[in-house]
Amino acid sequence: MSAPSRILASLSSLGEWIDMQKKAINMFKEINEGVKSADRLSLVLLTRQAFQHMIKTLKAFDQWLNDPFILNYITKDMLEDVWSTTYKLLNELLLLDIRHTQAVKEVAEKTIREGKLPPMIELRGGREEGAERRTLFPL
């Protein structure tokens, strides 16, 4: 098999990736249509599922941009599009994080001032050294 034939054959996996991402779009669209009636646990699970898919996609994109073979076929216009979209997503994510963290902080402070501690607070262990996790109650 010639080099161009091998390369073209290996590019078929890109079609599979595209199909998978299109299915994910449809799946999350269907999920989103029913999200108004979801309970809190379902919302947590659905959000985590979306996060996991986003993480998987971001890791793959990062690998993609680190692949010299692929970079041969990415034009500057494509890279500018990737940057522009990445910048928008990053800003939206940071704004969401700030908004959500601030809201949780305010609700927690109000609840604690009212003397309403969550019953599970006593079960939480100490914080592991070097942990980066946001925590409501540093123990």
89: nearest Cα among 57, 120, 42, 65: 57
The structure tokens 């001032």 sit at 113
Tens digit of each residue's pLDDT (9 = 90 or more) over 64-104: 999 998 899 999 999 999 999 999 999 999 999 999 999 99
Task: Report yes or no: 137 and 125 within 8 Å, Cβ to Cβ.
Answer: no
95 is written with which tokens? 């704004």
Task: State the DSSP code for 120.
Answer: G
Tens digits of residue pLDDT in 10-49: 788 888 999 999 999 999 999 999 999 999 999 999 999 9
